[in-house]
Amino acid sequence: MLCGHALIAIWNGITEGGRAEFYAWHLTEHMPERVAIPGFLRGRRYRAIDPATQPEFFTLYEVESFEVTTSNDYLGRLNAPTPWTKRATAAFRDTSRGVARVLTSAGPGSGAVLATVRFSVLNEQDKPTRLALGNLMHDIVRLPRITGAHLAASDAEVSGLKTAESKGRSDLQSPPNWFALIEACTPGSLEEPIRQIVESGFVQQPHVGRYTHEYTRLKTEQSPG
């Protein structure tokens, strides 16, 4: 199960020249800063398993509620980026950021690997589609070595909000529409869930990524909440 009822999901590549600084910044400044914001519960970073997965990095922030994503505390950080943030993000490539509501979250815990499936649906407000995809997450989590299956829908307006941190950046792409996150113990365990999502009949223009876990940042040293 995810920690909260909303997500901030970020896919990004990095230039080779910016890689060392990205790791240092992300580990020691960015993730601690973000998770310290009231309502942020946990941050996780992943790296691509294979060359076919683009972009290379995926970062997931689990937040208490969708209202946290438009709070003064969070927007205050976005509109006051540190010099290190400006320098590190200048090396980002192919960045897509989705601020999303969690529609379904099932499973006993986080896994060693993660599949992200970004997609569109024909009618975002169609209740049968939401119900069918939500039920699919519950079916997927019963597959062997699957530890979590989650469905989220991005808010286009909030995801695309212009801030001081995003000003002047040429790497930013369109935010995802909907996305599924599948957590598992082994890379091979991801293939059947991916197939079921892509072939469900509800998913359009799927973009699949396969990632391995690199780092988790908790709210405190003792607790994720």
Tens of pLDDT, residue by residue over 65-103, are: 999 999 999 999 999 999 999 999 999 999 999 999 999
Residue 125 has a pLDDT of 76
Domain boundaries along the sequence of the chain: 6-218
CATH number (3.10.20.30, 3.30.70.100, 3.90.1150.10, 3.40.50.300) of 6-218 reads 3.30.70.100
Burial of 178 (0-12, 13-18, 19+ CB in 10 A): buried
Cα distance between residue 80 and residue 91, in whole Å = 19
Residue 221 has a pLDDT of 56
Residue 126 has a pLDDT of 81
Cα distance between residue 210 and residue 53, in whole Å = 6
CA atoms within a 13 Å half-sphere pointing along the CA-CB vector of 37 = 27
Residue 224 has a pLDDT of 47
Are 48 and 210 spatial neighbours (Cβ–Cβ below 8 Å)?
yes
Are 7 and 100 spatial neighbours (Cβ–Cβ below 8 Å)?
yes
Residue 12 has a pLDDT of 98
Residue 220 has a pLDDT of 64
SS3 state of residue 209: strand
Residue with tokens 């590549």: 13
Cα distance between residue 174 and residue 181, in whole Å = 19
Q: Locate 201 and state its tokens.
A: 């009949």
Q: What is the pTM assigned to this prediction?
A: 0.95
What residues in the chain have per-residue pLDDT under 50? 222, 224-225
